[in-house]
Every structure is written in structure tokens, then in C-alpha cells.
Structure 1
Amino acid sequence: MREMVSGAMPGLKDGPDAAAAMQSFMPGDFTAADLADWTKASGELQKMWLEFAAFQAKKAAEKSTDGKYLLDPAQWLMISQSMVDQFPKGAFDAQAKLAQDSLALWKGVFERVVTSTTNGGKSNDEDGPALPIKDRRFSDPAWREHPAFALLHQTYLMLTEYFRQSVQSMNGLDKEKRKQLDFAVSALSEAMSPDNFLLTNPVVMKRTVETRGQNLVRGMQHLINDLKRGQLTHTDPDAFTLGENLAATPGKVVHETSLYQLVQYSPSTKEVLEVPLVIFPPWINRFYILDLTPKKSFIKWAVDQGLTVFVVSWKSADETMRDVVWDDYIRAQIEAIDHVRDRLKVPSVHAIGYCVAGTTLAATLAVLARRDEADKVKSATFFTAQVDFEKSGELKHFIDDGQLEMIGKLSPEGYLDGRYLAATFNALRGKDLIWNYVVNNYLLGEDYPAFDLLHWNGDVTNLPSKWHNDYLRDLYRDNKLVVPDALTADGTPIDLTKVETPSFVQAGKEDHIAPAESVWRLTDHFSGPLEFLLAGSGHIAGVVNPPAAGKYQYWVGDSDASSLKAYIESAEEHPGSWWPHWLEWLHKQDDKKVAATGKRKPGGRGDKVIEDAPGRYVKTR
């Protein structure tokens, strides 16, 4: 990281003359005052780094004395490295053709840039000469105004495409290894992009000259803060407070176990549907993804539509949860359903399972069906949830035997630190969720934005390591959930084909975590009535899309189609949010209403509650 800030990049002297290019950004009237400013910036950088080194030394000493595990925020990279080590030798040996292509590209770049320069900057592109390969990372005119930077970024883009194509044409690789290698090449190329480094990024050079190095001082402080917390910061950490401007829908915690809190929300209508709604969010994230700011909150919207809404707030794992396994989460879902039924004196509930909690909800329904208790759930809704993991997307790159062993080593106290998982998900979209912030926060020294979704994304949750490893091995790797009776939970065999509960399945068209084709597979295993809906966007925005926003679209087609492709061919596109369509479906399951009185209003007279929503579990790191 220090090399990144200082610009001392190995091999830089062999590339374009960045030092000479730097001179073009320097003002001609450089004064003693300018020199003083630069000297001050240099001193501030050195002081901050020395203080950080002392901080690290102190933490290391604490580790040696108390014996506790100290997180190294870079350790997650070992997972990717273990993946690369398994690839066949000679994967990138086609150097001769690459050299020929490079010469042709360089000739074309120089012709465009030099011609533009000699013509007084005139070209077909008003911001600079048009170049062969386009990429939004290099959209600033500074990348085209100087031959060195034009050549640098065009060569980089050519090499990236060359190596990607080499992977696709490589012989002797099975399908999964090819996907893993393609992912590794993409991650490496994103990390090595010239915009990530001071002396190869003309935009950063300009900013450094304009601010006399103060951008690097601010960036160094951002970097040190992130190294201390072991996590990349995406948004202003002081912009949001849970219970005030996030997770602020009024309600009470009405039940609590060592694994979760059950939150009930206060009604906003005089009448509500008799059948209450219980939401199971994924325990790999905080539940308030469904209760962001009031305008984006699915929970508030559902309450305003006359639903009695409960949500499970999972506890972030600690040493006490080292023996927690998947069975415990299934038991927790059944217990939460029973508690709501008993509290409101109703025979059944509507249930929602999001992502991994949807996977578990499918297993829960199978267990209830096998026990002749399926009528406890009137309907089940699945947000971007998978049960068949054959086509489960990019996360499969992290689950071969070597990576599972590595993940186990990262969990010596019985739980996986959520920062590792956050880093893994960020790596799936490294260009947008890692390197974009390296440039903006560390190099340009920009302030963090106030963005509720990014705040939630960085609010990580720890996972019980035993459950996490079983989940990756049994479901992602071995795909046992779709094999009747291959898995059991709480002593009951799981057979998804026994699930006859009316179900609503939502998938995101651009979801890279739970691909739509993978989510679609659920339609092959349940036996009851089912409606499938394809939403625009991805894993988060495809779900969190309030009607008032007027964004994206959704498709409704033949849910009995033979494949997702056939479904799409039959589907009709609708603009905006799919939430009202889901609500209409929910009313079709049971439209009876009751007065929003008694325990429909949590915390009323005679109702014993634990604390105000959102509860303390969601606030515990």
C-alpha cells in the first residue's frame, strides 16, 4: 500500500515515461511557498505512516500476550492465491502473437495521439483523440491527452482481453477450472489497472499538483483508518444511525433467543390482513437491507399496505456459536413461525426467505411437510434464493477442497469474521467495489458519500464456521439439497418435492450472487402452485425497488415453462417495481382482514416486550 501511495512501483521505469509526463502537470511559476506546501504534505504522510506502524506493533504485542486471533485484512487474498496455484503451467505462454498485436496497437495509438497533438488537439472526439478500446475507468480526457497515458491504458486493456481469450481457448481444462481461472485473471487484471497507481494515473497526478499533495494526505488517512478496521470503507461512517435514519420503522422486539431477535412492527392502518408476514433475512447480512431509509424500506411499505410484519434479526456469531449448524437455523425458523402463530392466535403465517434464508426456508417447508405440519405456512416467498446449486454462479470459485481448508483456518475461534466474507463479495465486483474506492478515497483523497446501501454493505456479520463450511460443502459443492433425503435437519429427512405450499419466487435478471437461471431451478423441485417473477437489476436493487422510485422493470410469464429461456420468451415486461404485483398475489392466498388491535400493536397494554426496534442484535458487531 505504501508503494501505491509513494508511486514506487516495480518495473515502472520500463513503461511509459510517467515522470516526464508529470512535468506537464507542474506550473511554470513554482515558488518557495509551493515547495513549503509539498514539504508539509510529505511530512504529514511520513508522520501518519509511522504512527500507524506503532499502532500495528502495539496490536501485535497484544496478540502475543492475550493469545487472541488478530485479523489481518489481507488474509482473504490467500483464498484467491490458492485458486491460482492449482492452474496448469504454461497458461500464458503465447507471447509471440501478443507482441505482434501490441506493435499494431501502439502504432495506432501513437498515430491518433500525435496527429491530434500536431493538429492543435482537433479530433473526432472533442475530449481528445478517439482510441481503439473504450473503458469507463479511462473516460477522463487526461488519459488521451498525453501519448504515454494513452499508450499505457490501451495496452493494459489489450492485455486484459488477450488473457481472457487465452483462458477461453486453453486446452485440457474442465469447465469449473476454466471458470475459476477466468475469475482469477479478471481479478488480477482489475488489480493491475494503471488507474490504481499514482504515477500511472494522470487524473491523480493533476489532483496532486492542484492540491500540493493534500489529496495524498487525506488518502493516507483513509487508508490507515481502513487498515485499522480491517475493511474497505465505502461510505461516510457517521452519516447513518440505526433506529434514527436507518432501520427506523417503529416496532418492538417481542421475542429473543441466543440466535435471533424477533421484531414486530407497529401497524399504520386500522385493519390488517389476518395472516401475518414473517421475514427471514440472510444471516450473512444485517436485516435492515429491507428497512433502509423510509423511502426505500420494504418493511415500512408492507406495513403501510396493511400487513402485520415480523422480521428475524439474526445474531452476529461469536465464540458461543462455534457449534451452531444449519439445523439450528431451521429450528429457529420453525420456532419463529410458531411464536408468531401463538402470539396472534392464528393458524398460519406468510413467510419470506431472502437469499440463504430462502434456501433454508425451502428446507424448513420440507421438514414441516414431512411432519404433517405444512399448514403452518399459508404461503412462501423467495427473494433471490437458490436450492439447486449446479449453476450457482461466481461464488462456486471459492469452494473447492483447498479453499474450504483455507476458510477453516480463518475461523480458529469457531466463527468466520464477516470482513472476510465482505471482501469475497467485493471481489466478485472488484472494479466497482474495490478499485474504484482505492482511486477515489486513497489516491484522489475524496470524501466518502452518504449512501445507505453502501453503509449496510459494510455493516458485516460474523458466521458460525461449522455451519458455513457445511453449507458450502453440502449445498454449493455437492448440491445435496435437491437429492431427496440426502440431508436431514433436526432428525427429519429433507425432500423438496414434498413441498406443496403456494410459493412466489423472485429472481434478479442481473444477479451475480444467485443467478436467475439458478433461482429458476426451484420451480423444478416444489410440487405446489408456484409463480415465478423476473425482476430487473441484481441481488439487491432487484429486490429493494420501491414503487415510488419508478425504476427498473419486471417480467411475468409462464411459470410452468420448461426453462428460464422459455419463460422469458413467454414473459410480458412491466415497468417499475414488482412489489404491488407480489402484494396482489399475497391477497389471492388469503384476503381476510382483522382490526389492528391487541397484540397486533406491539408494546400495548398488557403486552410484554423486550426493547424498541431495531433491537440490540443488529447493532452488535
Structure 2
Amino acid sequence: MTRMPLPDIKNSIDRVMHAVEGRYTQGMSPASLTLAFMDWLIHTAHSPGKLSEMRENFLRKYSAFGLWSMRAAFDPELKPFITSLPGDRRFSDPAWQRFPYNVMSQSFLLQEQWWHYATTGIPGVADHHENVVSFAARQWLDVFSPTNYPSTNPLVVEKAINTGGQSLMKGMQNLLEDVQHNLLGDADTQTSEFTPGENLACTPGKVVYRNRLIELLQYSPRTDKVAAEPILITPAWIMKYYILDLSEHNSMVRYLVDKGHTVFMISWHNPGPQDRDMGMSDYLRRGVMDALQAINHIVPKQKVHLVGYCLGGTLASIAAAAMARDNDDRLQSLTLFTAQTDFTEAGELMLFIDESQLSYMEDMMWDKGYLDTQQMAGAFTLLRSYDLIWSRIINEYLMGETPRMNDLMAWNADSTRMPYRMHSEYLRRLFLNNDLASGRFNVGDRPISLRDIRVPVFCVATQKDHVAPWHSVYKVHDLMNTEVTFVLTSGGHNAGIVSEPGHPRRHYQLGVQTAEDKHIPADDWALRHEAREGSWWEPWNDWLNTHSGEPVDPPPMGNTKADYPPIGPAPGTYVFER
């Protein structure tokens, strides 16, 4: 038997240890957290001036709060001692203004404020470590929020009284059912009422191409004439494609087809251990480029509107830049949804990106050959802990409410895995090293530059994006030497994109920057452009029509002569992979 070389044995031992550890740390590197904490602790201990300020701040604030608390017991009209931050809905209900709950909520907010002061502004602490420590302190404090306990949450108390305790009994039942499902590994039973091909992803179409990585869906025309140039949508491979083809009323695909566009969609394969060596080059070549080749045979002699969402948008940008470098003129335009091309301001997701954390994550992926769905979900859950953890505990376990599943929630629960090599390359080359924005990202054996892109660009960012903050998405203006139509829309990373016409309380801002225009800072851009009521889908459709030729007869569904026959009906088979 061939013996493994000694260095490989040692390396494997380290990786196995990290992989086992990662199952108990939710993928967080203990070394990364310890480095951040020690950096903050050492510099704080060596900053007597800051310590003196912290002590003075504590005594002054809590002395004033003590006086406010005594008044709060007798004055229901007393103004809050601390105003909640914008977007913080935890204590918005009027019940929190009554004594003693007003004192409880204000005391908690005061603790949050003081700990933010204590963990930031320490001279000498690295920015990344400061952000990690501040974030960790906020997460720890969230555990002790008065909203999370039956006796200190007035809404829970009131409902328990009004229902004779039945709400608490129902909450306990919900908790036991969830524990049972987790122990048995059952699928979420709430999502069973939503099934692709039945009440999700129902726009009629065919699978016209399949390889190891993608199925290419072509949707059936619904108009007598269609725009000459077809649309190819490249969704993120971290989730299933049908966020853009949800229910009939909010399906972007259905909207585009109804408006007279020929739409193609990439449906990604859900990778397993056998796909561990698939890298970014595979996703570019077997994904975008193979799909373009198939479309060129089905709709010959026509350029293509390339559309990318999130990670798919970053990949679409890479493809467009590589094609521009190689004088490949098959693109008519480029549309990006919440897609980052410069990762220097990638938001709180960067809390989980440093050399220690990536090395740890790589060892965890090495164990299985992929990053599984729970490991990915852990990071996103922490970023939105109130919405995804605490609000669920309050509503389902304390209030006894039965959760209402909708199509977007069902899609969100249908996540996919990430191959070991691809995810490692993506995080290192883009997030950590920012190679794409710096002109160091190689396609083939040569680097690409986004400044080579000359087709018009339509870029959409969302105001409340925790994955791709709009200030980061806005940097596309600095990286592309072409006309950029930029849209900032209400909503978050997903709900802001699924923003169909008729959706209530939707608005957006829109502006156009040509290659000759001077740079406008992001915040100035937001002040210069007025909000418009309605869905951004409508101006995007107008933009697509402006950059399309005269309407033509719909193309055939696939092309039998060119070896692209219809393989089966949409939504295909890859969408059902678990």
C-alpha cells in the first residue's frame, strides 16, 4: 500500500481537526475571533484616556438614566431617554411606552449604546477587528433583550392573559415540533405546499441545453412578436433560480415574456462531493459561455442582453469583460441586480472574511468537498439575527403564532451547496484580494478589466441590502467606461428585486451616467435623484426596448438541427436537486 507523504498527513490532521471544530462553531474560526478580541483588549488596556472617557460616560449616562427612570414611573408622556436607531422595530409598539416596560427597553438600549462606544474608536485597533468585536458585542447583548423573555415582553404577557395561557402552550408545541424536525432531519413541512412546477417556477418553457453544471431554460413566447435580442439571466448559484420566477403575479420571467421578450434562464446544478474541483473558470465556461453558445444557435445572428443577479451578476461582469478583451461582440447590454464588482465596502459580510477565517472555512469544505447550506445560512442569519432568529422565537415560541409561509420564504429555504474550489476562489480572489476591481482577475492566462466593457449597463441596488450594500454596488460607476443607468430601489437583497408592478409601498431612484460624466459620490447621487413611486421593472423594460431592434417573429423552442433540441419541460430537473 502506498503511504501518504508525511507533510500531507500533517496537513490532513489539521484539516480534520478544523472540520470537526467547525461543526460546533457554526463555521466561525476561533483564531479569528480571538485575534480580534485580543487586539481590542490590549489596545483598550493601553489607552488610559479612552478608559477614563468610558468610565465617565458610564457614570454620567446611568446617573441621568436613574433620574429619568423615577420620572418614567409617573409620567406616561415622558420622552424616551434614548431613541431607537432607524429600522430598529423591537420597541416600536406602544405597549413598550408603559411602566415598567419603558424602563426595561430604555435600559437595554442604553447598554447597547455604551457597548458600541466601548468597542469602537480605540486607538490602534485594526478596522476589521473593531468591526468584529462590535458585532460580537451586539450579538451577545441581543440575547438579553427584554423582547426575548415572556415576563419582560408586554406583548407576550398581554396575549397570554387574553388567551388564558393558550398562546404559551401553543408556543411550546411549536418549539417541540421544531426540535423534533431538527433531530430527525425532516424537511421543513411548511414549505411542502410550495413546489416548483406546480405553484412556483410555473412559467411555461423547455430545457434546451444541459451539461454537468447547468440546465438552460427557454420560455415559451406569449406575444405574436418579440424583441429581436433575447435575454439570458444568470442567477446566483447559492440559491435556486426561481426567485425570478416565483408565483404568477410576481414572476420577473413571466413579466418579461408578457412584454415581448425571449427569455433564457440558467438553472444551476446543486454540487456534491464529486464536484469539489469545479472552480470559477468552470462556472464561467460551462455556465455563461455555454449558455451563450446555445442561444446563438437557437436565435442566430442576434446579440444577447446578459442579466446577472448577485453572484451571477459578478460572473456576468467577468464574462462581459473577458468577451470585450477578446473582441467578442455577442452582447447587446449588461444588467446587474445587487451585484458587486468592487468588494472594498462589501458590508457586514466582510466580518467573516479574513485569512484566518478563509483558511478555516477551506478546511471545513475540504472535509465534504463543498460548503453546505447550513454553514452558509449561519452567516446570513447572524447578519439579520433579529429578523431570522429572535423575531421567530418571539412570534412562534412566546406568542404561539403559526408562521405563514409565502413563495419567497419557500424559495429562501431551498438553498444549494457551493463547491470547495469555486467558493475558495470566489472568497479569496474577489472578497479578500479584490482582484476584479484591481485588474488582477485572470480569465484564461490573461487578466481582464471591467473598463473594457462598452455595452450599456443597467445596475440595480437595494436600500436595505445586507449582502451587497448599495454603496458597494454603486462602485460600478468607477469601474466601467460606458453608459451606466443606476437604480436604487426600496427593499432588501431579495424583496427589492422581486418588486413587480402593483406591489404596494415600492419606490426607486434612477439616474444615468455616461462615460464622459464626472464622478458623483454615492450619497450625493441619492440626494440628487428624486424617488419615483412604483416598480423599477417598468423603466428597465423600457430600457431593454430602447436597446433592442425591431420586433421579430418568436424563435423556435430550441434548435434540433444545431443539437439543441427541447430536452424536457421547465423547470427542468436540476431545480429539484437536494
| Fold similarity call, TM over 0.5 | yes
Match of 2:264 in 1: 310
* Mapped pair 1:132 → 2:81: yes
Match of 1:416 in 2: 371
Match of 2:25 in 1: 75
Match of 1:611 in 2: 568
Q: Choose the corresponding residue for 2:130, options 160, 178, 191.
A: 178
Structure 1 segment 407-446 matched on structure 2, within 5 A:
407-411=361-365, 412-446=367-401
**CA deviation profile, 1:65-115 (whole Å, cap 9, x unmatched):** xxxx999876326358843652221659645642553343244224322x2
Q: Choose the corresponding residue for 1:258, options 194, 209, 212.
A: 212
Structure 1 segment 397-546 matched on structure 2, within 5 A:
397-411=351-365, 412-484=367-439, 486-546=440-500
Q: Choose the corresponding residue for 2:247, options 287, 293, 307.
A: 293
Asked whether the 8 Å contact 2:209–2:564 carries over to 1, the reply is no
* 1:561 to 1:223, Cα distance in 2 relative to 1, 3 A: farther
**CA deviation profile, 1:532-584 (whole Å, cap 9, x unmatched):** 22223332232221112253222223413413234334424322111121122
Match of 2:7 in 1: none
Alpha-carbon distance in 1 for matches of 2:345, 2:324 = 27
Q: Choose the corresponding residue for 2:539, options 554, 559, 581.
A: 581
The aligned amino acid for 2:488 is L
* 1:608 to 1:193, Cα distance in 2 relative to 1, 3 A: same
Alpha-carbon distance in 2 for matches of 1:282, 1:570 = 31
Match of 2:229 in 1: 275
* Mapped pair 1:599 → 2:573: no
Q: How far apart are 1:361 and its partner, in Å?
A: 1.0
The aligned amino acid for 1:614 is P
Alpha-carbon distance in 2 for matches of 1:566, 1:353 = 26
**CA deviation profile, 1:102-129 (whole Å, cap 9, x unmatched):** 343244224322x26xxxxxx33xxxx7
The aligned amino acid for 1:457 is N
Alpha-carbon distance in 2 for matches of 1:203, 1:71 = 39
Q: How far apart are 1:143 and its partner, in Å?
A: 4.6
The aligned amino acid for 1:172 is G
Match of 2:6 in 1: none
**CA deviation profile, 1:450-493 (whole Å, cap 9, x unmatched):** 22222222221111122112111111111111222x22123443
Asked whether the 8 Å contact 1:262–1:310 carries over to 2, the reply is yes
What value does the CA root-mean-square deviation take over the aligned residues?
2.9
Q: 3-state DSSP class of the match of 2:502?
A: helix
The aligned amino acid for 2:69 is V
Alpha-carbon distance in 2 for matches of 1:399, 1:165 = 24
Alpha-carbon distance in 1 for matches of 2:314, 2:246 = 23
* Mapped pair 1:109 → 2:109: no
* 1:425 to 1:576, Cα distance in 2 relative to 1, 3 A: same
> Which residues of structure 2 form unaligned runs of 5+?
1-18, 46-50
Asked whether the 8 Å contact 1:558–1:570 carries over to 2, the reply is no
* 1:265 to 1:568, Cα distance in 2 relative to 1, 3 A: same
Structure 1 segment 12-23 matched on structure 2, within 5 A:
none
Alpha-carbon distance in 2 for matches of 1:258, 1:76 = 30
Give the greater-gyration-radius structure (CA): 1
Asked whether the 8 Å contact 1:252–1:614 carries over to 2, the reply is yes
Match of 2:105 in 1: 153
TM-score normalised to the size of structure 2?
0.85
Q: How far apart are 1:164 and its partner, in Å?
A: 1.1
**CA deviation profile, 1:198-232 (whole Å, cap 9, x unmatched):** 45434435555623551343232243046337799
Kindly, what percent of the aligned residue pairs are identical? 32
Match of 2:13 in 1: none
* 1:105 to 1:159, Cα distance in 2 relative to 1, 3 A: same
Q: How far apart are 1:329 and its partner, in Å?
A: 0.9
* 1:83 to 1:499, Cα distance in 2 relative to 1, 3 A: same
* 1:230 to 1:132, Cα distance in 2 relative to 1, 3 A: farther
* 1:615 to 1:304, Cα distance in 2 relative to 1, 3 A: same
* 1:247 to 1:372, Cα distance in 2 relative to 1, 3 A: same
Structure 1 segment 323-402 matched on structure 2, within 5 A:
323-331=277-285, 332-373=287-328, 375-402=329-356
The aligned amino acid for 2:573 is R
Asked whether the 8 Å contact 2:250–2:498 carries over to 1, the reply is yes
Asked whether the 8 Å contact 2:298–2:556 carries over to 1, the reply is no
Asked whether the 8 Å contact 2:267–2:575 carries over to 1, the reply is yes
Alpha-carbon distance in 1 for matches of 2:419, 2:104 = 45
Alpha-carbon distance in 2 for matches of 1:214, 1:158 = 33
TM-score normalised to the size of structure 1?
0.79
Match of 1:41 in 2: none
Q: How far apart are 1:297 and its partner, in Å?
A: 0.9
> Which residues of structure 1 form unaligned runs of 5+?
1-68, 117-122
Match of 1:196 in 2: 148
Alpha-carbon distance in 2 for matches of 1:183, 1:151 = 25
**CA deviation profile, 1:15-47 (whole Å, cap 9, x unmatched):** xxxxxxxxxxxxxxxxxxxxxxxxxxxxxxxxx
Alpha-carbon distance in 2 for matches of 1:180, 1:428 = 12
The aligned amino acid for 1:138 is F
Alpha-carbon distance in 2 for matches of 1:529, 1:447 = 49
Q: 3-state DSSP class of the match of 2:106?
A: helix
Alpha-carbon distance in 2 for matches of 1:232, 1:109 = 48
Asked whether the 8 Å contact 2:277–2:419 carries over to 1, the reply is yes
Q: How far apart are 1:597 and its partner, in Å?
A: 5.3
The aligned amino acid for 2:246 is L
Alpha-carbon distance in 1 for matches of 2:21, 2:248 = 35
Asked whether the 8 Å contact 1:269–1:306 carries over to 2, the reply is yes
Match of 2:577 in 1: 620
Match of 1:568 in 2: 526
